[in-house]
């Protein structure tokens, strides 16, 4: 028993000596110890461990306020370069970066620059981008030469996003241009960058800029990642709609309104002047068949029923005159609108 106790004590002493020497070595020569222990991690400092409270507090951190002025109407686009994602690009085709100044990427004429918080995010993927793809042809008919979509993602992610949307939803290729602003330089220069919170960080705001020859003519912004009110396809169609198209749509709406009013007046006149009708009588309440017909009233000359009948006839004549006048006015207006459209064409 004495020999065993001595062996155990000696072993414990040797362990303590080795552990102490190792600790002194790490304190004296940390770089040497790190290079021996973990040679692949010598370029990166150790990450301090976070407790449960620290992790929860990090996820609940408030969004950072960014005091960056937003670009205004009449301003020239900033001289910032973005990466242009080639259409139908393969992995090999994306290997080389194609960078252009934002004004060059948009080109001349009227164009839209649409910013979105990120590829594969719900609102961007489910609503915003599909709406733009569907409305691209109509916007082109309205004189929009280019529709460019920019996100703060790299070109590989944007290319995969575009291709997945086309494959899953079934949209064909469109005339949209896809731009990658991976470092966020463009959206920062535009003042259209926002801290979206923990796990997302700095992202592009959801915005729409109408640009004509490099000059901003319209600025629309939706706050947050989910809101889509003023930057969607429906809003862009209203913004880009030419005045002559608006005038033609308004004229067509007036024409339909006039025709609808004339039709109602005609049906009212038919119901009012049809045989057997009386004030307050409707088609549903009108008597049907011989049994429902009331017996003729024997009226003497100058009796009260004759007076009521004459007043009723006079009232019907006045109503008929008004209906005829309304129908004539409606017909004249329709002819005037048709003549106006024929002259314009």
Nearest CA to 124 out of 87, 178, 62 is that of 178
What does the block give as tokens for 53? 């409270």
- Contact present, 190 and 71 (Cβ < 8 Å): yes
Active site residue 124: yes
Token pair recorded at residue 229: 């009110």
Q: Which of 124, 129, 180, 233 is catalytic?
A: 124
Please give the span between the terminal C-alpha atoms of the chain, in angstroms, as a whole number. 118
How far is 60 from 69, CA to CA, in rounded Å? 27
Q: Is 90 helix (H, G, I), strand (E, B) or coil?
A: coil
SS3 113: strand
Classified as helix, coil or strand, 229 is coil
Residues 6+ positions from 255 with CB-CB distance below 8 Å: 333, 334, 337
Give the side-chain half-sphere CA count within 13 A for 119: 22
Length of the chain: 345
Task: Write down the residue that tokens 């960058």 correspond to.
Answer: 193
CB 286 within 8 A of CB 277: yes
Catalytic residues, by residue number, are 124
């Amino acid at each position: 028993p004495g020999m065993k106790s001595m062996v155990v004590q000696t072993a414990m002493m040797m362990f303590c000596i080795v552990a102490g020497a190792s600790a002194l070595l790490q304190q004296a020569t940390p770089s040497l110890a790190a290079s021996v222990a973990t040679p692949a991690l010598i370029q990166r400092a150790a990450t301090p461990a976070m407790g449960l409270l620290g992790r929860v507090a990090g996820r609940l951190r408030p969004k950072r306020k960014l005091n960056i002025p937003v670009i205004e109407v009449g301003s020239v686009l900033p001289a910032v370069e973005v990466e242009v994602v080639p259409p139908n690009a393969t992995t090999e085709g994306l290997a080389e970066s194609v960078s252009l100044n934002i004004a060059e990427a948009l080109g001349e004429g009227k164009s839209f620059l649409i910013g979105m918080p990120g590829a594969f995010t719900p609102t961007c993927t489910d609503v915003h981008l599909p709406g733009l793809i569907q409305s691209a042809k109509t916007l082109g008919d309205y004189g929009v030469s280019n529709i460019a979509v920019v996100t703060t993602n790299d070109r590989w992610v944007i290319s995969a996003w575009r291709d997945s949307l086309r494959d899953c939803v079934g949209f064909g290729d469109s005339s949209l241009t896809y731009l990658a602003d991976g470092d966020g330089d463009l959206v920062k220069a535009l003042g259209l960058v926002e801290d979206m919170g923990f796990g997302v960080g700095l992202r592009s705001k959801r915005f729409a800029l109408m640009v004509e020859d490099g000059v901003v003519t319209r600025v629309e912004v939706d706050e947050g990642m989910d809101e889509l009110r003023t930057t969607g396809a429906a809003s862009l169609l209203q913004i880009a709609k030419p005045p002559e198209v608006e005038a033609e749509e308004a004229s067509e709406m007036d024409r339909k309104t006039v025709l609808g009013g004339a039709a109602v007046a005609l049906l009212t006149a038919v119901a009012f002047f049809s045989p057997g009708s009386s004030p307050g009588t409707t088609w549903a309440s009108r008597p049907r068949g011989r049994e429902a017909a009331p017996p003729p009233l024997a009226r003497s000359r100058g009796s009260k029923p004759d007076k009521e009948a004459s007043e009723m006839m006079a009232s019907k004549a006045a109503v008929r005159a008004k209906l005829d006048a309304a129908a004539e006015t409606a017909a004249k207006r329709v002819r005037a609108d048709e003549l106006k459209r024929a002259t314009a064409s």
